[in-house]
Structure 1
Amino acid sequence: MLWSKRERNAAIEAHIPAMRRFALTLTRDCHRADDLVQDALVASLSNWAGLRNPDSIKSWLFAILYRRFLSDVRREQGRGEHYPIDEAMGLAIPPEQDERLWQSEALRAVALLPEDQRTVLWLVAIEDLAYADVAKMLGLPLGTVMSRLARGRERLRTILEGGAVIAMRKMK
């Protein structure tokens, strides 16, 4: 499918908020998340011909973002940088007061998960991507995605100490 520049930009722009949420989940820092999204957007525009299926634009953009994140992590591994998570609380749309506390608690609990579990949980439960898309995006077998998701859900339940449990959807 040939896209006009306007159609391409509109298709990409529609996914920027979700990309930013995912980047924040990965980096735990608002400024680093913004930089990561910008790098991923530049890469997606310069590699637009690499999009094989227009219906999978979201998972394609997320895959680019995730690969950029992994490259950054490898490059910075020896530096031992700190990733603050306090800024993450200000990104959500303001909910009702009683839900605000729960959402804050849930975000903190998700931030405590190991990166591999947090990433899979975020992509499946929050970004609503299919297991197969997540597996392809992360370069993992489907079974690994499913086991990381199950372990992440269980750890999240443990962290929340039997309180409110995030409703997760069934396998697609």
Structure 2
Amino acid sequence: MRWIFCLFIIFLAACTSNTDEALKEVAMLNADGDKLGTTTLTEDGEGVSIKLKLEGVEPGWHGIHVHEFAKCEPPDFASAGNHFNPEDSEHGLMNPEGPHLGDLPNVEADGDGKIDVELELPEATLLDGKNSLIREDGTSLVLHDSPDDGYTQPSGDSGERIACGEITAN
């Protein structure tokens, strides 16, 4: 009975270790370097769950995507590169040849400029692998000033990049 208890403790320790690796908190900054809030990314078996909690955003709909580099250099965040696209797909959640792995549904900032939403990024991971958001030097999460139309190449006509957060292993 004692060794069964020991195996149970080892199992719990292993599960706790994996959970710690599969959780990331990312600060989202605007072009002035002001923190708008945080994003919490969690591995959930179906992909990565993204809990976005921001304030100080222009009310209305905004496109949001995971981009290929963990570089959020203001003022335009062009350093984040293109959408994260390890499968070399077309852009857009409504595109039959898409989507990019980094394509996400639009989010809405309420009348007070707050966004509080949870999104799913199917097939992505925070662990090792081709679809890892923390691969090599990482990726970034970028919020745009306009909604993504779900189809237009290469970025859904979602406008300027207004906030960015670096997704890294550290």
TM-score normalised over the length of structure 2: 0.27
Greater relative contact order (Cα < 8 A, sep 6+): 2
More helix by share: 1
Larger Rg: 2
More strand by share: 2
TM-score normalised over the length of structure 1: 0.27
